[in-house]
Amino acid sequence: MNINTSTSTSTSTAAGPSRPSPTTRTANSSTTQQSGSLWNEIMGSADGQKGLGRKNLIVLSERHHGRTHLLSQLNVSSKKKRSFKASRNGKKGLALGYEVLDISDGDEDSVPPLSVFYPPSSHPSLLKLVSRALPPKSLADTAAVIILDWTKPSSIVQELLTWLSWIDQWASNNAERGELEELKERLQSHIQHYTEPSPTTTTGTAAYAGAGALLPLGQGTLTLNSSGIPITVVCTRADLMDSVGEEVGMKGGGWEERTDWIQQVLRTICLAYGASLFYTAPAQPTTYTLLRSYLLHRLYTIPPPLNTTSSTTDPATQHVSSTRFPFPHRANVLDRDAVMVPSGWDSWGKINVLREGFDPSRIGKAFENSLHRFKGDEDDEGETLEGIWEGMIPYIERGVKPSSSSAPTIPETEQSFLTRQLDVLLKDPNRDPRQSFRHAAATVVGPMSGSEGLNLPGVEKALGEMEGLEKGEELKEKFARLSRKDSTRNGPLSPPITSPGATGNAMPNEALHNFFQGLLANRSKTGTPSATPAKSGEGK
């Protein structure tokens, strides 16, 4: 009996687990169920690893916000980094950018690269190309990244309104029937199943562990995101926020309060959309590593459905999630240049802890009013976030201030510009250059000052050339008549004769003036034919 039993046991062992003996199956029924459940879970996890499909990332940013540097840092492969930077040369004129990020990390398992699509700016004609470039039926495999620049804090609210409105419109236009409801339910499940890793955790699992009954959503959580698209708001150049404060004369605690207020506003908006918030800085390389890890985690990790209960024991109905891209990192809101707020962690209470006096309900309502006005849905008189923002953050944009109107500026033609300048010159009374000579002659100080200051030979010659030969002859005759009057009184070359008692009446300046007038008269008589006989007679 014992021999037959051992023979049967050895035979069943050799046959493998597909043909177990009745005795063994009866004795180890509970162990078989546990091992089968574990085996099904392992196989399901392996199938999930092999079934990783291609994911898409839409990067939304205005020009000169650090997008190129951010994408190069997200690509961890050194070879890909060089090729990425080289491929950016000469691509400023593209209507839609496309890059590929390698996420294999040298693993043997093949993982499709991450496709990145990015329009150069928020121009409507460029945003229309995003839907055409994405693969069909890829809405569930797509996440969005909104890039904001910390060196341009004045435009943060307007850019958020632009990009968040576009995401809702784009998702609603490209979603199939019932797809948006499924995506929003998946996002809500991610938020409700989120558990913060412990401080001692070094490696984490991306699978959502059963945490019992789910808590309802908190105040202001997931109230605006109607599409369910995973959104990550990235604020670049966070290490330059203090230099921005120096530009407006705010240093120390005053500017630090403003930056904390900006963080609270961004966290309130991200909480309403179920989005995450990341600060990146070249001085903090780990910020790019954490952002890359989180994006892959959100793209490749699917939360369990909301209708799954903890009492479900059927292995076939249990949710199996990929554990390839875990994110075991805790939130960070204390480091001003390395803020990291994962989706599902934040709440109004945590936002108020950062700095007292902040009202998240007021900010949330103001942002909803701004969003309605931006979309043109309502024209109410409620408070908007733009007005609150302008009162807290002064306009400190670097570069040209953006114009409020979208109408193109038409430059003035060259001929019209020259004609307008000619009219201005003709109306200018000081355009005649001869005025400068008259002004200089009138301001002469010394013997030649006074009303006869224009009798200088140099001025006479210059004015003669300007007025013409005929007018110059008239001036010469005028000077000759004046000199004749003086010569008949004192002689042509003799200085004025003064009596000893008349010293106080004759001034030295007048004597010199008369002497030079005599010289001019003698020159005029020598140069004219009528004056020659008189001169010879006087010589005799």
What is the average pLDDT across 466-486?
Answer: 62
Sign, Cα dihedral of 412, 415, 419, 422: positive
Model confidence band, residue 308 (pLDDT cutoffs 50, 70, 90): low
Q: Quick one: 32 exposed, middle or buried, by C-beta within 10 A (0-12, 13-18, 19+)?
A: middle
- pLDDT beyond 90 at 74: no
Check whether 169 has a pLDDT greater than 70.
yes
Residue 507 is predicted with a pLDDT of 55
The larger pLDDT score, comparing residue 247 to residue 76, is at: 247
pLDDT above 90 coverage of the chain, percent: 33
- Residue owning tokens 């995450």: 276
Cα gap 323→113, rounded to integer Å:
17
Rounded average pLDDT over 92-104: 79
**pLDDT, tens digit, 9 for 90 and up, residues 385-436:** 999 998 888 776 654 444 444 456 778 888 888 988 888 888 877 766 666 6
pLDDT level of residue 19 (50, 70, 90 thresholds): very low
pLDDT at 95: 84
Over residues 183-220, the pLDDT tens digits come to: 999 999 999 999 888 876 654 444 555 555 778 888 99
Residue 197 pLDDT: 85
Residue 240 is given by DSSP the state G
Average pLDDT over residues 501-518: 65
pLDDT for 297:
92
Q: What is residue 9's predicted lDDT score, i.e. its pLDDT?
A: 38
| 431 Cβ contact partners less than 8 Å away, ≥ 6 residues apart | 425
Q: Which of 39-43, 196-200, 520-524 has the lowest mean pLDDT?
A: 39-43
Among 96-110, 220-234, 398-412, the minimum mean pLDDT is found in 398-412
Tokens read off for 372: 């309605």
Residue partners of 406: CB distance under 8 A and separation at least 6: none
Q: What is the 3-state secondary structure (H, E, C) of 450-510?
A: CHHHHHCHHHHHHHHHHHCHHHHHHHHHHHHHHHHHHHHHHCCCCCCCCCHHHCCCCCHHH
Taking 80 as the threshold, does the pLDDT of residue 100 lie above it? yes
Helix/strand number for the chain, H first, E second: 20, 7
- Would the pLDDT of 245 be above 70? yes
Domain boundaries, the chain: 51-79+93-197+218-305+323-359
* Predicted local distance difference test score (pLDDT) of residue 302: 86
Q: How many CA atoms lie within 13 A of 34 on its CB side?
A: 4
**Residues with Cβ < 8 Å from 109, sequence gap 6 or more?**
49, 50, 324
Per-residue model confidence (pLDDT) at position 535: 43
Tell the residue number behind the tokens 């392992």, with chain if given: 42
Q: Is the pLDDT of residue 517 over 60?
A: yes
- Please identify which residue in the block is written with the tokens 């070359």: 493
Give the model's pLDDT for residue 499.
45
**51-79+93-197+218-305+323-359 CATH:** 3.40.50.300
Q: Between the CA of residue 487 and those of 259, 483, 495, what are the distances in Å?
A: 90, 6, 10
CB count within 10 Å of CB 154 equals 16
What is the pTM assigned to this prediction? Answer: 0.63
Predicted confidence (pLDDT) at residue 475 exceeds the cutoff of 80: no
- Of 282 and 5, the structure prediction assigns the larger pLDDT to 282
Q: What is the mean pLDDT of residues 516-535?
A: 62
Residues 50-69: tens digit of each pLDDT:
456 789 999 999 988 989 99
Mean pLDDT of the chain, nearest integer: 74
**pLDDT given for residue 6 in this prediction:** 39
Contact 332, 197 (CB under 8 A): no
- Could you tell me the pLDDT band of residue 94, with boundaries at 50, 70 and 90? confident
Please state which of the ranges 316-320, 378-382, 513-517 shows the lowest mean pLDDT: 316-320
Residue that is written with structure tokens 């890793």 in the block: 197
Tens digits of residue pLDDT in 482-504:
666 655 555 544 444 444 444 44
- Specify the pLDDT at position 250: 75
How far apart, in Å, are the Cα atoms of 276 and each of 50, 210, 239, 366, 535?
Answer: 28, 23, 19, 20, 109
